[in-house]
A and B are shown apart, each in its own frame.
Chain A
C-alpha cells in the first residue's frame, strides 16, 4: 500500500507541474485547449492527493505497522476515531493533510468558476498550482509519510519489517477537540491560498473592474471563519487539557495562527473601501499577499521549531525549504505589484476624519500595528540573536501591553465605524446615532464604578461593550421599525426580513456582537484568582465564594497509566454545591503525564481545579484551584461569530418590490421618507457598484 500512496503523490506532483507549466503556456499562446487541460490537471491533483490520504488512513485502520508513520502515531488499542485523527498527529501526515485540504480548495475554486471569468481563471489555476508544487515536493521528497521499516539485502531485494504494535498517539492529542481542531485551523490556513490566487491573478492579468474583489472577499470570509473557529478551539483545548488555568499564553504557535487572522480581518474591512470608493487598492492587494505569506510563515513556525528553538530541542530540516518558499513568494508578489502598480491607482481620497473611510483606515492601522507587534515579539529570539548574538525572548507582558489598548480601540471602532457615513458625517447624524448608546455605556460604567469596579481596562471594556451592543441593537431596531410599518408586520418578523435582505451588513453586526462577547470574556481574566495548597483529607481551601473540602485521595490506575485523583466537595454559603475529581495521570509506555482538569463552568465564572502534584518536602498532594470569571462568554461569542459569518455569506433575499441583485444599497436607497430621516447616513453614501 505504501507504494500505491507514494505513487499517487508523485503523479499528483506531475499533475501540478503540468497545471503550472501548461497554464502559463496557455496564457502565453492563448490556446484554449492548453488552458483547459491545465485546469483539468489542477483539478486532478485533488483526486490523486485524496488517494494518498486514503492510503495512509487505510494503513492506520488496518494497523499496518510496517509504515513508520503509522507505528509512531497509533497502536492497536487506539479507538477508531483517534486512528482517523492520527493522520495529522505528526509532521509527515499533517503536511500531507495540509496538501489535501489545499487541493480541495483549489478543486472547488476551479470547479465553481469553470465557466466564469475566462480572463482571470487561468492565472488563478497557475497560482494555485505553484503553491501545490511546493507542498507536493515536500510530501514526495522531504517528509514522505510512506516510509517503511526495512531495507534491501545485498541482492537488492526489498525486505519490509513490521512492528508488532505501534507506540501510540500522544495522550495530549487524545481528546475529542483534537479530532476537529487541527482540520479546522488547517482549513483556515490553507483557505487563504484561494484569495491569494485571485488577487495575484487579477494583478497579473490586469483584470478590469472590481469583480475579483467580490470573489476574493467571499473566499476570505470562508477561510477567516475557519481560522477564527480553529483559534478558539485551540484556546479551549489548551484550557481544558493543559491544566494551567488559562487559554492563551502568547506562545509562538498561537501567535502564528493569530497573525493571518489579524491581516485577514483587516482585509475584510478595507475591501469595502475598494468596493464603495475605489480606494486602497494597493493596500488590499498587499493585505491578501501578506495574509498568505503569514499563513506560510505560521505553518513553518509550527513545524520547524525555529522560534521555540530557544529550548533547543526538536529541530527539523524543512525550515530552509519553507523560508526559501517564503522568499520566492515574496519576490513574486513584489514583482507582480511593481509591474502592474498603475493598475492599482486609487479613484478617491479621504474627505473627512469623521467618515466611514477614516474609521476603516484607523481599523487597518491598528490591526496592522497589532500584527506587527505580535510578529515582532514572536520572532524576537531569532532577530535578537541575529543582531546582538543574544537570544532574548519576550513574554506576555509585552504582548498584553500593546494589544490590550489596541483591542479596546478596535472595540470602539466596532461601535462607531458602521454608523458613520461614507465621505463625511454630519454632527446631527452623529448625535442621532450615538447619543443613546453612548449614554447607556457611560451609565453602565458609572454603575460599575459605584460597585467598586475600578480597574481601568476592564472598566473601559465594559463601557465600550455596552455602547457597541446598543449601537447594534439600535441598527436592527431602526431598520426593523421601518419595514414593520411599511409591511404592517410585527417588529421581530421585520428584523428577520431586514437581515435577510442585506445579509452582509446585518451578518456583520452579528459578528461584531460575537466579538463583543469574546472581549467581555477576555476582560474577565483581569479578575482571575488562584490558590494553591497542600491538602490532606479534611483540609479546606477557600477561593472567592467557594470553599473546597478534600474528601478523599485515591489512585485509580490502569495498565495504561498510573493516576492520582482527588475527590473534592465544593461548598458555597455553607451548602454543598458539587463534587470535583481532578486527576493527574502518567502514561506508563510514553512516560507522558496528563492533567485531567475538573471544571465547573457557569456563565459568571469557572471554578477550575487541578491536581498539581506532590509537595517535594512533605509528599502531600498539592491542589491548585483557579477562579476564572466570564470564560464561558468567549466560547459562546465564538459561536455567535460563526453564525454571523454564515449569515453574511448567505445570498440576499430580494423583496417583491425591490429587484436589485446585490449590494448594500438595495435597502438604503429605496427606503420610505420616514426611513430616510431615521438613517440619513445610508443616503449620504455614494456607491461605486
Chain B
C-alpha cells in the first residue's frame, strides 16, 4: 500500500503543476471570438480582451495610410472600421469583398486595431457548379492560417 500512496502523491504533484501551467498558458493566449453585432453589447469588462472578428471587406474602403491600412468590415448590415498595424504584408486574397478575419483589440474610439489579418477570396467556393459546400481539407492538412486563409 505504501508504494501506491507514494504514487498517488507523485501523481497529485504532477497534475497540480500541469494544471497551473495550463492556467498560465490559457490566460496568455485566450482569444475571444465575436461577431460585429456583439461588439456594441459587450460589457465594459470585456472590451479590452484580445479578440477575433470576421466579416466582409466593404468595397472601396481599403485605404493605405502612413504606417497602417484602414478598411471597413461588414457583416449582416453592421460595420466595423479596422486599422491594420501589423508588419506583415497583407495577403493577396485581401481585397474588396473578401472574407476577412482580424485579430487584435478594440480601440478606445470604437474602431478595431488589428495585428493580424487573414483573408479568403469570397469567390473561391461560389463557382462550384453543384452549390456544394467547399471540399473539406484532407486530414492532417494543417488548418494554420496559411491554408485557405492567407495571413498578413
Binding site for B on A (CB under 8 A): 68, 71-73, 88-91, 94, 147, 149, 163, 167, 170, 172-173, 178, 181-182, 185-186, 189, 230-231, 233-234, 237-238, 242-244, 246, 249, 251-254, 256-257, 298-299, 302-305, 308, 310-316, 349-353, 355, 358, 361-362, 365-366, 369, 373, 376, 381, 390-402, 405-406, 409, 532, 584, 586, 590-593, 595, 612-617, 622
Contact partner of A350 (CB less than 8 A), chosen from B4, B28, B87, B129, is B4
Known contacts being A178-B138, A366-B14, A532-B88, is A253 close to B25, with CB within 8 Å? no
Are B90 and A68 closer than 8 Å at their CB atoms?
A: no
Least CB separation from A68: chain B residue: B130
Q: In the complex, A487 Cα to B50 Cα: how many Å?
A: 69
Q: In the complex, A361 Cα to B30 Cα: how many Å?
A: 32
Known contacts being A369-B14, A613-B91, A616-B69, is A591 close to B143, with CB within 8 Å? no
Chain A residues with Cβ below 8 Å from B132 are 68, 72
Least CB separation from A186: chain B residue: B139
Are B21 and A308 closer than 8 Å at their CB atoms?
A: no
Would you list 12 pairs from A and B whose C-beta atoms are within 8 A, ordered by A residue? Answer: A68-B130, A72-B130, A189-B139, A233-B140, A237-B140, A249-B144, A254-B142, A391-B33, A392-B31, A398-B22, A591-B93, A617-B64
B83 contacts the other chain (CB 8 A): no
Are A592 and B124 closer than 8 Å at their CB atoms?
A: yes
Are A185 and B139 closer than 8 Å at their CB atoms?
A: yes
Chain B residues with Cβ below 8 Å from A395 are 29, 31
Contact partner of A616 (CB less than 8 A), chosen from B7, B26, B89, B130, is B89
Are B32 and A149 closer than 8 Å at their CB atoms?
A: no
Are A182 and B139 closer than 8 Å at their CB atoms?
A: yes
Are B22 and A373 closer than 8 Å at their CB atoms?
A: yes
B24 contacts the other chain (CB 8 A): yes
Known contacts being A249-B144, A299-B139, A350-B4, is A613 close to B128, with CB within 8 Å? no
Number of residue pairs across A and B with beta carbons under 8 Å? 219
Q: In the complex, A186 Cα to B28 Cα: how many Å?
A: 34
Known contacts being A353-B6, A613-B90, is A315 close to B133, with CB within 8 Å? yes
Chain A residues with Cβ below 8 Å from B134 are 313-314
CB distance from B66 to the nearest CB of A (A): 8
Known contacts being A72-B130, A237-B141, A352-B3, is A392 close to B25, with CB within 8 Å? no
| Interface size range of chain B in the complex | 35 or more
Chain B 102-152 residues near chain A, CB threshold 8 A: 120-121, 123-124, 127-130, 132-147, 149-152
Are B54 and A311 closer than 8 Å at their CB atoms?
A: yes
Contact partner of B142 (CB less than 8 A), chosen from A234, A366, A376, is A234
Q: In the complex, A381 Cα to B30 Cα: how many Å?
A: 10
B73 contacts the other chain (CB 8 A): no
CB distance from B2 to the nearest CB of A (A): 9
Excluding A172-B147, A391-B34, 8 further A-B contacts by CB distance (< 8 Å) are A172-B141, A173-B141, A178-B138, A230-B140, A246-B144, A349-B4, A394-B29, A398-B25
Are B144 and A365 closer than 8 Å at their CB atoms?
A: no
Chain B residues with Cβ below 8 Å from A186 are 139
Least CB separation from B118: chain A residue: A311
Chain B residues with Cβ below 8 Å from A584 are 92
